[in-house]
Amino acid sequence: MMRSSTFARSESKPAVLACALAAALGSACQEDGKTSQKHAAELCGKLAPIVAEDVGQVRTGLPAGSQKLAALVDTDPGANLLGLQKAIAGARASVKDLEFAKSTFFSFADPSGTVLRSEADPDMLANRSVLASFPELRKVLAPGSGVVEAFGEMQEMRGVRNGPDLQWVAVHPVTRSGGELQGLFVTGWSFRAYAYRLQEAAKRDIAEIAKRDGLKSTPLLYVFAWKGAKAYGGPVTPDVNTEALEKLDLPAKTASGPWSGTVEIAGRTFGAAAQRAPELAADAGVAALVSTL
């Protein structure tokens, strides 16, 4: 009996050690999750004002840019496309807000909404109608209209080759001195391309946070721009991360203000945070996933 009892006690030691190790690991993971959650919330707090500034630059700069463009384009803008491209670049460069705007495209469209030329090459938007893809933009044709905006999808405005994307488009009339409509100044961004821009900005912040908090390595980071139930990450963001974020229902989570929590994705604990960016749209915002390595 003594031998049996001794054997039982000795056999129980590995089990006790295993349980202790599991508890320690669980506690460490929980602590890492809280740290990651804190960092994600901090990053969203920094990113939301960036969105507000970026949107403000477009809304403020587009009217002034349209005036500059009206003075630079030929009477028949489509007759000299190279000259039109230079006019677009010149108009944008002459307006500080547009010079620093984070738009992924600047284009000139004729009064029917068909793009004649864009600033960038290759020109994916040439001969494509923005008014056909974004019917809400037709409001810009009304006399005395200013900046008109719309959300939607247009293949030629995509920021990635494959996968879901969304675009925010802003247009302003370009008029001659007599008030005759000459065309439209078109700009905006792809959500996925914009998410990449935000993520690059956040990388600098997370590196500073890691240094400040004495972390051994820089946390893993993914940044998203979202609208409604859909989230859009940068070009290399894993689909599983996007899907996990969308399942959180960010509009509901942020209904009363910024939100943060934790989420398990492919066996890794991420700190998650989201914050609305009402300057862009009432149901739009930024989100971040952070995992302390």
Find how far residue 35's CA is from the centre of its chain. 24
Q: Which amino acid is at 131?
A: L
Residue 209 pLDDT grade (very low, low, confident, very high; cuts 50, 70, 90): very high
% of the chain surpassing 90 pLDDT: 83
32-50+193-291: what CATH class? Answer: alpha beta
Residue pLDDT, tens place only, 109-133: 999 999 999 999 999 999 999 999 9
Residue 25 pLDDT grade (very low, low, confident, very high; cuts 50, 70, 90): very low
User: What are the residue boundaries of the structural domains of the chain, listed by start?
Assistant: 32-50+193-291, 56-190
Q: CA 6, CA 3: separation in Å to the nearest integer?
A: 5
Asked if the domains 32-50+193-291 and 56-190 are classified in one and the same CATH topology, the answer is yes
pTM of structure: 0.87
Residue 159 pLDDT grade (very low, low, confident, very high; cuts 50, 70, 90): confident
* CATH number, domain 56-190: 3.30.450.20
Q: Which amino acid is at 247?
A: K
Q: CA 233, CA 102: separation in Å to the nearest integer?
A: 16
